[in-house]
Amino acid sequence: MGVFHRLLYPRVIIYDGDLALHTPTRLFLSSGMRAVDHALETLYNPSSSEVPHRLLCLSVARELFGLLKESKEDPKNADIRQRLQVVAFGSLFSFSGRGGLGLSHSMGTFPSSTGCFGHGMLMVGHALGATYHIPHGITSCLTLAPVLKYKSITSPPEATQIARLAPFLGIRDQGSDQENGIAVSEKVAELIEDLGLKSTLTEYNVPNEQSEWEAIADRALHGKREGKLFGDVVEITKGLY
C-alpha cells in the first residue's frame, strides 16, 4: 500500500557515502538496480514528460550502469556510494504519474484508469516481493529485463522510448526500435549478472506450477484476467524460474 500527500514529503534528504558503507554490498547493489528499474520504467511511462523526466532518466541510467559496476569492484569506496545515492534520486525525480510505474514494478502496483499498466514490470515486482519474501531490489533483477524485451516486441510507442537508451549504453544501432529495445533489455540482464545479482523464483521456493503463475499474474494486474495481457504476464512469470 502506498500513501501520498503533499505534507508527507521530507524537508531534508541527507546522502552520506560513509554511512552507506554499512549497507551490505548485495543490498546496496540490488537497491541500485531498483533505481535502474525506476529510470527505465519512467522513460517509457506514458505519463512522463520529456523534460525533466525522460531526459533525466536517460542520463541517470547511463550513470547507474557505470557506477554500479564501480561499486561492485570497490565496495568500500564511500565516494562512489554517495554518487550512486544522488544519481538514484534522479531516477524518480518529481514523478507523479498515476497508476504506478509499469509492469516490472507492478507485477506490483495498480493499473491506471486508462488501462495502461503503470511502469512495466514493476507490477510483477510488487506481486512477487511481499508474497514470497523476495527483497525489493531483487524483484527488479528478476523482472526488469524480461519486461523491457516484452515491451519492445509488443508496444511500438514504448519500444521507441526504450530504444532511446541504446546509445547511452554503448549499443550500436540495430536498425529498428524493436531491436534496439531488445538490445537494451539484454544489456540490463548483462549488468545484473555482472553485479552477481542474477536470481530465479526457484531460489525463493516459489512453486513452479500453472496455478502459481496465474496467481502472480492476477495480483500483478489486480484481478484483471480478461485480454491478452494476463496470458502474457503468465508467460513472463514462467520464464523467471
Mean pLDDT, consecutive 10-residue stretches, the chain (241 aa), reads 79 94 98 96 91 94 98 98 96 63 56 39 75 94 95 97 98 98 98 97 97 94 91 95 96
What is residue 7's predicted lDDT score, i.e. its pLDDT?
87
Under DSSP, the state recorded for 174 is -
As for how many domains the chain has, the answer is 1
Measured CA to CA, the distance from residue 141 to residue 143 in angstroms comes to 6
**How much is the pLDDT for 116?**
38
Exposure string for 30-65, b = 16+ CB within 10 A, e = fewer: bbbbbbbbbbbbbbbbebbeeeebbebbbebbbbbb
Report pLDDT for 173.
98
pLDDT value at residue 10: 84
pLDDT at position 130 is 86
The verdict on residue 9 lying in a domain is: no
| pLDDT in the model for residue 189 | 98
Q: Is residue 70 part of a domain?
A: yes
State the CATH number of the domain containing residue 154.
Answer: 1.20.1090.10
CA gyration radius, the chain: 17
Residue 92's pLDDT is 81
Around 17, how many Cα atoms within 13 Å sit in the side-chain half-sphere? Answer: 14
Whole-Å CA distances, 26 to 165, 172, 179, 196, 198: 25, 31, 31, 8, 11
Residue 69 belongs to some domain of the structure: yes
Nearest of 87, 110, 85, 89 to residue 98 by alpha carbon: 110
**4 is a domain residue:** no
Peptide bond into 207 cis (omega under 30): no
Assigned domain for 8 exists: no
The three cell numbers of residue 150 are: 516484452
How many helices and strands in the chain, by DSSP H and E?
Answer: 11, 0
Burial (CB < 10 A; 0-12, 13-18, 19+), residue 209, is exposed
- Residue 64 vs residues 33, 67, 91: alpha-carbon distances, Å: 8, 5, 9
Segments forming the whole domain that contains residue 100: 17-238
Grid coordinates representing 235 are 508467460
Does any domain span residue 2?
Answer: no
Question: Is residue 62 domain-resident?
Answer: yes
Q: Look up the pTM and report it.
A: 0.88
Q: What is the pLDDT of residue 6?
A: 82
Answer whether 5's CB lies under 8 Å from 73's CB. Answer: no
CA distance 120 to 44: 8
Evaluate whether 43 touches 108 at the Cβ level (below 8 Å).
no
